[in-house]
Structure 1
Amino acid sequence: MPDLSLETIKAALAGQSLFEDKTWQLSPQAWQLTPEQAAQLEQIGPACLEFHQALETLYLRSVAGKNLLRNKQLLAPWVVDYLDRGKPADLVAHARDPKNRGAFPTVLRPDLLLTDDGFALTELDSVPGGIGLTAFLNKLYGSDTDAAVLGHKDAMVENFYQSLATLRPETRNPLIALVVSDEAATYRPEMQWLAEQLQRQGRRVFCLRPENLFPLGGELFFDVEGNPEKIDIIYRFFELFDWANIRIAADIMEAWQSGAVTIAPPMRHFQEEKLSLALFHHHLLKDFWAEHVSRRSLELLKKLIPQSWIMEPAPLPPGAVLDSPRVGGRMLSDWRELSGASQKERDLIIKISGFHETAWGARSVILGSDCSREEWQEGIEQALKLAPTNLHILQEYRKPKRVEHLLYEKSAGQPLSENSQADLPAVASSKAGRLRLCPYYFVVGGQARLSGALATFCPPDKKIIHGMVDAALLPSRV
């Protein structure tokens, strides 16, 4: 497809707000993936689904005190302690409910950094933003005859719908409520756009606030022009730490318990903890992962997931050492010894594991090599202070490599965006930057369907890559 003009992009964005009060840089081209990268993306989705399936087994066997292996003794009660820590008792009970067995996220979105050694998977999000935005950009940068946009230009919308509708195969044209909390309001416009796209196809999909829902006879409804409409499926667009703020939470749970409504992604806290990546690398669980993940997926995940550790400050007996990186060639017996690490040794990231308002949007991320020793020490102390209720993980930092992409120029320092009204010259030039790739996999019939990938292209001086005013947000094509 030919390059998109600045006028075409601005006109498309002006007609549809996709993020509340957000702006970004614009480009005439989608991000170009090599055939080899695209082939690897096709493998990553099934591997992430296998990871979730094994994680469920790990959690439930830890809860029950059961052996983790077939022919060897391995008990790990500490796993459930880590994953349940700080969670409300009713949410824990819900996650363990037998009705939830085999319930996995319907959307899987790994965060992949493009490094000199290939992709590095730093997080695995099961309540990701960007679904509507990526679908919109696929349409904008694709064409009716263009199959090169990753997936295809309509794959995001269709597979998102199928991942939900197939949860209730007995219901023809189920009514699906995309429930967006106030905490996640930034993403409401893109979910509204998704709902409108599906409504045009005759699908009954609506973007709602939690307060739009009301109970009636043990079921859930919302009002359409004075008429109550029964909800069959709730797609919850909010993190579980936000559950306590959902006024109608008890009624949602009652309707789920009776089978009147299906909730996706399932409200299972252990599926939303970053520390699961540290469990994957834990030396005591090596045999478990080898037994419950296929060899192909296991080798791929080993290459993708940076070494990660759980920052548990429990006191150790004399002579014991932590499962941690080394400082000055020595193993550690206390996490505070990380404070003495050299800047090179501080190529490490601290971030909160989950179930906290700072656990998304890079708000809790501290990169040791990019901060002062005092800031690094403060980050360590904060992680240990919060550990009784909110564990942090320490993760090896894999530096994204410098790459180049065409961007339209800024004028007088004003960023190009959907809200920009300036009369800017339509000049595109090659800029250096670093890349995060977020592929979207929708789980339909037990298969993870790759449907698109959002590329976030940041200036090269940005060490932590996320959506920002200086970044370009792009669809991906092969």
Structure 2
Amino acid sequence: MNLADIQGSLPDSKLRAENQWLFSPRPLQLSKGENKRLEKLGSTLAAFQKASESIYQRSAKGRLPSWISELLDAGKPSWLVEAQRSAELRDVLPRVIRPDLILTEDGFSLTELDSVPGGMGILQWLNQTYVQHGFDVLGGKDGMLEGFRSLMPDGGRILISEESVDYQPEMQWLSDQLGDRWPLAAAENDAADEGAAYRFFEWFDWQNIPAAKELAKKIDLTSPCKPHLEEKLWLALLWSPGMRGMWSSEMRGSNLQRMRELVPHGWVVDPAPLPPQAALPKLHVQSWQEVSQFSQKDRRLVLKISGFDELAWGSRGVFIGHDMPGHEWADVVSNAAEQFSTSPWMMQEFHNGRVIDHPYFDPSTGEEKIMTGRARLCPYYFVGEDGKTQLGGCLATIVPADKKKIHGMKDGILVPCAW
């Protein structure tokens, strides 16, 4: 397979509104152990989301401490909070789960969970293209199509917002592949009619979507109106000392252990004063002001805005402590603490990605070259009505090893993962 083969099979839209990516002559080959862990991970993530939902709802009803639901509802309009607490949506959970997994020396590091992920159209096209050239990819040639159809077996609208317009080319291509019963439509023009709908817009953008309040009530909207589940805060709450008993009662021991093996230790950036004898776990200081003054050696930490904010998309709201000047780190930590009541932030330990070599085509000459880089894996899990998960495919993003943030960029490689 050469560069001309790949570029010749791209649809006219190129699947992306702006930046292209680097193409590779082969998928990313994972080990048998890594593939096995990916196959099993979906059920663990579904169990984590189910436990998170239960903890949130019990907190909202006063059966668990109220600070949990208050934290997760911060900055959201009252109608949105009421919608996710409604009896009609009681048992409704996301049907698509996509984690961000950093490939590390000893496995994976889970840095984010996304219920409204981009990349589905690109991955379906990549899977299809590489299978046609003889490769065995995770999910197979049509795993993403089959998974998406399972969300709305009788068809339904794919609602995309203007705010998400960068993803329109790939979602239009995916819609075309799915068939006439899964049309792409503008979320801003939707009338919340009867019938299933797939949501490709964020709730923070609700004021630009006239039908948002009606759509939020629908049990056949995927992903459903559960904005608390779209908060990165849950990955910090997994480590909250005061919630250990809650997690143990809500999750089977093996699933809980697996989550704690995957998720870096994290903290909610809460500026509330600690008692004189207390300290932030593992950070060994009493305040976020002290964290803001850490040396470069000590700030191997990642600061992220949690959700319900336009900065929560992509990498714009992500700051890596040891990759920025000390005065800038101090500013962003101080800002995060100040925003606690309206737009909470969380912090995680930084886990180094494993350095790998992978081939790519020089976009100018077509010559095959080798990139020494680090990889992020994004497996896409589709949850059936019976609660069982199916892996539709796995997208790898490989960027040069000197990059601390791993995300789609023009000098990054996008490839499917293979057996």
- Any conservation in 2 of the 1:442–1:450 contact (CA below 8 Å)? yes
- Any conservation in 1 of the 2:151–2:222 contact (CA below 8 Å)? no
* 2:209 corresponding residue in structure 1: 246
For the pair 1:433 / 2:410, whether they are aligned, the reply is no
* 2:68 corresponding residue in structure 1: 79
Match of 1:382 among 316, 319, 335: 335
In the TM superposition, 1:382-421 aligns within 5 A as: 382-409=335-362, 416=363
For the pair 1:61 / 2:58, whether they are aligned, the reply is yes
Residue 299 of structure 1 deviates from its aligned partner by 1.6
**Given the superposition, is the C-alpha separation of residues 41 and 379 from structure 1 closer, same or farther in structure 2, using an over 3 Å criterion?**
same
The whole-number CA distance in structure 1 between the counterparts of 2:353 and 2:213 is 44
For the pair 1:42 / 2:5, whether they are aligned, the reply is no
For the pair 1:8 / 2:5, whether they are aligned, the reply is yes
The whole-number CA distance in structure 2 between the counterparts of 1:334 and 1:186 is 39
- Any conservation in 1 of the 2:102–2:109 contact (CA below 8 Å)? yes
Match of 1:115 among 92, 104, 119: 104
**Given the superposition, is the C-alpha separation of residues 144 and 366 from structure 1 closer, same or farther in structure 2, using an over 3 Å criterion?**
closer
For the pair 1:157 / 2:154, whether they are aligned, the reply is no
* 1:321 corresponding residue in structure 2: 278
SS at match of 1:205: coil
SS at match of 2:183: strand
Describe the superposition over 1:241-278 as per-residue Cα deviations: whole angstroms up to 9, x where unpaired: 11222123244357x3xx7xx21101111110000011
* 2:241 corresponding residue in structure 1: 283
Residue 298 of structure 1 deviates from its aligned partner by 1.4
SS at match of 2:162: coil
* 1:90 corresponding residue in structure 2: 79
- Any conservation in 1 of the 2:161–2:188 contact (CA below 8 Å)? no
**Given the superposition, is the C-alpha separation of residues 320 and 311 from structure 1 closer, same or farther in structure 2, using an over 3 Å criterion?**
farther
SS at match of 1:358: helix
In the TM superposition, 1:267-278 aligns within 5 A as: 267-278=225-236
- Any conservation in 1 of the 2:79–2:213 contact (CA below 8 Å)? no
Structure (1 or 2) with the larger CA radius of gyration? 1
* 1:183 corresponding residue in structure 2: 163
Describe the superposition over 1:85-115 as per-residue Cα deviations: whole angstroms up to 9, x where unpaired: 1110000000000111111111100000011
The whole-number CA distance in structure 1 between the counterparts of 2:166 and 2:368 is 29
Match of 2:396 among 449, 455, 458: 455
Matched letter for residue 31 of structure 2: T
SS at match of 2:197: strand
Match of 2:173 among 178, 193, 217: 193
The whole-number CA distance in structure 2 between the counterparts of 1:407 and 1:145 is 18
- Any conservation in 1 of the 2:98–2:379 contact (CA below 8 Å)? yes
Q: Percent identity?
A: 39
Residue 34 of structure 1 deviates from its aligned partner by 1.0
- Any conservation in 2 of the 1:351–1:365 contact (CA below 8 Å)? yes
How many residues of Structure 1 are paired with residues of Structure 2 in the alignment? Answer: 418
Residue 281 of structure 1 deviates from its aligned partner by 0.9
The whole-number CA distance in structure 2 between the counterparts of 1:431 and 1:252 is 45
Residue 359 of structure 1 deviates from its aligned partner by 0.4
- Any conservation in 1 of the 2:160–2:185 contact (CA below 8 Å)? yes
Describe the superposition over 1:103-154 as per-residue Cα deviations: whole angstroms up to 9, x where unpaired: 11111000000111210000011110001110110001113976x2101110
The whole-number CA distance in structure 2 between the counterparts of 1:53 and 1:144 is 39
Matched letter for residue 290 of structure 2: E
Describe the superposition over 1:373-410 as per-residue Cα deviations: whole angstroms up to 9, x where unpaired: 1011011111012112011001000011210101112x
In the TM superposition, 1:204-243 aligns within 5 A as: 204-214=181-191, 220=193, 231-243=194-206
Describe the superposition over 1:156-194 as per-residue Cα deviations: whole angstroms up to 9, x where unpaired: 0111111233xxxxxxx34x1111001111111111111
Matched letter for residue 451 of structure 1: G
The whole-number CA distance in structure 2 between the counterparts of 1:322 and 1:90 is 37
The whole-number CA distance in structure 1 between the counterparts of 2:300 and 2:133 is 45
SS at match of 1:429: strand
SS at match of 2:271: coil
- Any conservation in 1 of the 2:187–2:201 contact (CA below 8 Å)? no
TM-score where L is the length of structure 2 = 0.96
- Any conservation in 1 of the 2:188–2:208 contact (CA below 8 Å)? no
Gaps of 5+ in 1: 67-74, 166-172, 221-230, 410-415, 417-423
SS at match of 2:76: coil
- Any conservation in 2 of the 1:106–1:164 contact (CA below 8 Å)? no
Residue 16 of structure 1 deviates from its aligned partner by 4.0
Residue 324 of structure 1 deviates from its aligned partner by 4.2
**Given the superposition, is the C-alpha separation of residues 164 and 264 from structure 1 closer, same or farther in structure 2, using an over 3 Å criterion?**
same
What RMSD, in angstroms, separates the aligned Cα atoms of the two structures? 1.6
Residue 12 of structure 1 deviates from its aligned partner by 1.4
Describe the superposition over 1:60-86 as per-residue Cα deviations: whole angstroms up to 9, x where unpaired: 1111111xxxxxxxx422111110111
TM-score where L is the length of structure 1 = 0.84
Matched letter for residue 179 of structure 1: L
